[in-house]
Amino acid sequence: MSDLIADDSIPVITVDGPTASGKGTVAHRVADALGFHYLDSGALYRLTALASARHGIDPDDSGALAVLAETLDVRFADQRIWLAGEDVSDAIRAEAIGNQASSIAVHPSVRHALVALQRAFKTAPGLVADGRDMGTVIFPEADLKVFLTATPQARAQRRYKQLIEKGFSANIDSLLLDLEARDARDRTRAEAPLRPAEGARVLDTSGLNVDEAVSRVLEWFAQAQYPQGA
C-alpha cells in the first residue's frame, strides 16, 4: 500500500467511525457544502458482498472475493449506486448485506483489492471520504481526519430509523447486538482495524444533530486550511 496519491494540492477530508455513527450523512453534507467529491467506501464492501451473494461465492473464499472486488462494475451517479448497470442503492443497505460486508472486510486480500479504486476518487476540487480506514490507510495524507462516534444505543436507534424509512423490517434489540458484534470485528481485525487515525479530531455525535456535526467538521477544515496566525 505504498502507492499513495502524490498530488497534495487536492484537499481530502476523511470521516471514519463505526456503523451508524452518522459518518455517511455528515460526510455527504460536508462534501456538498464544499463542492467536493464524495466517497462512500463502505458501499464498495457492500457491493462486493451483494455481488458475492449473487455469484454464490463463499464469504470465507478470500481469493475469489478479491478477484470479484477488483472487477466490480460500479458507478456512483446522482446519489445512486449502480452495479453492472443496475441501481442497487437500496439493495446494498439491507442489514444482511451489511453484516456480510463486515465479514468479508476482514480479508486483507479484499481490502488490498479495493485500495486503488478508493484512491482514484481523489480528484479536484477535493474529496470527502467516509469509512473505517480512510484516515489510517487510504488517505493518511488527508488535510483533516475526523473520527465520529456515538453510544451503541444512539447508533442502534439511528439504524432502526434508517431501515424503517427504507421499508425494511427491523428490531431494535437485534440491531444493537449486531452493531456490537460488528464493532468487535472491526476493532479486532488484523488488517486496518477500526481506530482513530493519528491526528484525528474525535467527535461524539450522540447528542448532536446533523447540522451541528456538519458545522463542527467545516469549522475544523477551515482551521486546517487557514491555521491561526498563518
* Residue-level pLDDT at 228: 64
Q: What per-residue confidence (pLDDT) applies to 200?
A: 97
Q: In what order do the strands lie in the sheet with 12-16?
A: 37-40, 127-131, 12-16, 144-149, 201-204
Q: Does the annotation place 89 within a ligand binding site?
A: no
Residue 11: other Cβ atoms inside 10 A: 19
Instruction: Please report the pLDDT score of residue 190 as a whole number.
Output: 83
**Residue among 204, 212, 214, 203 at smallest CA distance from 33:** 214
Residue 20 assigned as binding residue: yes
Q: Is the peptide bond before 140 cis (omega within 30 degrees of 0)?
A: no
Is 63 flagged in the annotation as binding?
no
pLDDT of residue 5: 44
- Residue-level pLDDT at 50: 97
Average pLDDT over residues 26-54: 95
pLDDT at 203 (0 to 100):
98
Residues found in the chain? 230
Calculate Rg over the CA atoms of the chain.
17
What's the average model confidence in pLDDT over 109-137?
Answer: 94
Q: How do residues 154-184 score in pLDDT, each as one tens digit? A: 999 998 998 898 888 899 999 999 999 988 9
pLDDT of the residue at 3: 42
Q: Of residues 29 and 94, which shows the higher confidence score?
A: 29
Domain residue limits, the chain: 12-223
Average pLDDT, the chain: 91
75 grid coordinates: 458507478
Stretch 73-94: mean pLDDT: 90
Of residues 123, 55, 51, 111, the one with CA closest to residue 82: 51
Going by the DSSP 8-state scheme, the letter that residue 107 receives in this structure is: -
For residue 202, the cross-strand partners are 147
Binding residue per annotation — 25? yes
Q: Is 44 exposed, middle or buried (0-12, 13-18, 19+ CB in 10 A)?
A: buried
Confidence (pLDDT) at 63 = 96
Judge whether 205 is annotated as a binding position: no
Cell 456512483 locates to 76
Task: Describe the chain by its helix, strand, coil percentages, rounded to 5.
Answer: 50, 15, 35
User: Do 24 and 211 form a contact (C-beta atoms < 8 A)?
Assistant: no
**Mean pLDDT within 78-103:** 91
Q: Are 159 and 175 in contact (CB under 8 A)?
A: yes
CATH superfamily of 12-223: P-loop containing nucleotide triphosphate hydrolases (3.40.50.300)
Residue identified by cell 467545516 is 218
19 is in an annotated binding site: yes
